[in-house]
Amino acid sequence: MNLIPTGYLINTGDRVIVRDDNTEYTALLIDIDMEGFDDTIQLDDGTVKEMDRSRIFPTNYENTKIYEEFKDELNLGICEITFTKKDGSERVMSGTLNFDHIPTDKHPKGTGKQETQQKSIAIFDVMKEDWRSFRISSVINFERLTGPGRGSDKKKEVKDEPIQG
């Protein structure tokens, strides 16, 4: 099967989540309709059917949504992130992507590696005064401390639900 990169978050050959009439199931994306919006999926029982693209999501959809929410919050102010490091220890980091809180000499110069799989986020750690990263799947708690709308309504307990990674 040839993989056809489409610019979407999914490509032919990928497992996808399908949301259809109040049900959710996984399937294999076997064809992308480049001229319309009816893509072809194959169900686990082998059934092939066309499905409106608006009902097809990548299997990492929830991670992508959480990634975007975290980035939005980090751009608004300083956030406190509690996460599990690769060695199993827990770390609390206060960081941001908001240039108002990053010294000019520490602003990105555009030479860093761009995260394309949305598995981790590089942020400026305001305590260590340098760039650090954390894996989305390791986050235990995330709360914005500064900026508009900060406070308990922006606190996210994320380990209650499994995060795909």
**Using CA atoms, how far apart are residues 113 and 107, in angstroms rounded to an integer?**
14
pLDDT of residue 150: 53
Amino acid 45 reads D
Does the pLDDT at position 8 exceed 60? Answer: no
Rounded alpha-carbon distances, angstroms, from residue 17 to 26, 33, 57, 58: 5, 17, 5, 6
pLDDT of residue 58: 79
Q: How many residues does the chain have?
A: 165
Q: How confident is the model at residue 4 (pLDDT cuts 50, 70, 90)?
A: very low
Domain regions of the chain by residue span: 15-58, 61-157
Give the contacts of 61 (CB within 8 A, at least 6 positions apart): 9, 17
For 101-156, how does the pLDDT look when each residue is reduced to its tens digit (9 = 90+)? Answer: 999 999 988 765 665 566 889 999 999 999 999 998 889 999 999 877 554 444 45
pLDDT of residue 66: 84
**Choice between 7 and 84, residue whose per-residue pLDDT is larger:** 84
pLDDT of residue 124: 96
**Using CA atoms, how far apart are residues 26 and 24, in angstroms rounded to an integer?**
7
CATH number listed for the domain at residues 15-58: 2.30.30
Q: What DSSP string describes 1-68?
A: ------SSS--TT-EEEEEETTEEEEEEEEE--TTSSEEEEE-TTS-EEEEEGGGEEETTHHHHHHHH
For 9-60, how does the pLDDT look when each residue is reduced to its tens digit (9 = 90+)? Answer: 678 888 888 888 888 888 999 999 888 889 999 999 999 999 998 888 877 6
For 69-96, how does the pLDDT look when each residue is reduced to its tens digit (9 = 90+)? Answer: 899 999 999 999 999 999 999 999 999 9
**Using CA atoms, how far apart are residues 132 and 125, in angstroms rounded to an integer?**
6
Q: How confident is the model at residue 162 (pLDDT cuts 50, 70, 90)?
A: very low
pLDDT of residue 117: 62
**Choice between 99 and 157, residue whose per-residue pLDDT is larger:** 99
pLDDT of residue 99: 92
